[in-house]
Amino acid sequence: MSTHYFIAIPIEATELVAVQQAILPYYSYRRIYRPDEFHLTIQFLGDIDGEELDEVKEITRRICQDIPPFTLTFRTIDNFGRADRPRVLTIVPDASDSLQRLAVALRQELVELIPRLDRKAFVPHVTLAKKWDTGERIGYVPPEFNITESVEEVVLYEVQPNHTPSYRAVEVFPLRRPEEDIWQSRLKFLT
């Protein structure tokens, strides 16, 4: 069995769990994502070999050093698939120039490294559930919410389909820290 990888932003906002729990009774899914599996995929890599993996790490590290931390805001429930039986239930962030810049920069360099790379349009989302089970979707009014997530790192994950959680962090890539944060860290150390 081959090993698949993807690059993503871990989503840790605990408020997402409340939103997920509030809307799941109106749907029927076989696969419900756990809070420790919430993430926003920037680029699915698929099956890559060891040499490609090392180059992916280098590219990701370099690009992350050029992107300062940013914030995502989530206010919308969405889905992929038929309206009455959506195959994937998601929560989507508001438009973010920083997120787009990060995704475009990574894809441009990764496509050169891995020509077979998945080139589907980047549609930022956090999957809450997938794989429709049985029955019909029940009509409901989605809850109102306004959840923010500070993005300070990007993670290279390995897919582990027979484990819980089903993703393992291979390497973490911090985004560029503002100069002020660096100096405050140094001052704390000195005092």
State the catalytic residues.
Answer: 39, 125
Question: Which parts of the chain are beta strand (E)?
Answer: 4-10, 29-32, 39-47, 70-81, 86-93, 126-132, 147-151, 153-159, 167-174
Query: Which is nearest to 150 in space by CA: 93, 103, 101, 100?
Result: 93
Q: DSSP string of 5-29?
A: EEEEEE---THHHHHHHHHGGGS-E
Query: Which is nearest to 80 in space by CA: 144, 131, 45, 120?
Result: 131
Q: SS3 for 79?
A: strand
Q: Treating both helix axes as pointing N-terminal to C-terminal, what angle do 97-113 and 50-64 enclose, rounded to 10 degrees? A: 150
Whether residue 147 contacts residue 14, with contact meaning beta carbons closer than 8 Å, is answered with no
Whether residue 53 contacts residue 7, with contact meaning beta carbons closer than 8 Å, is answered with no
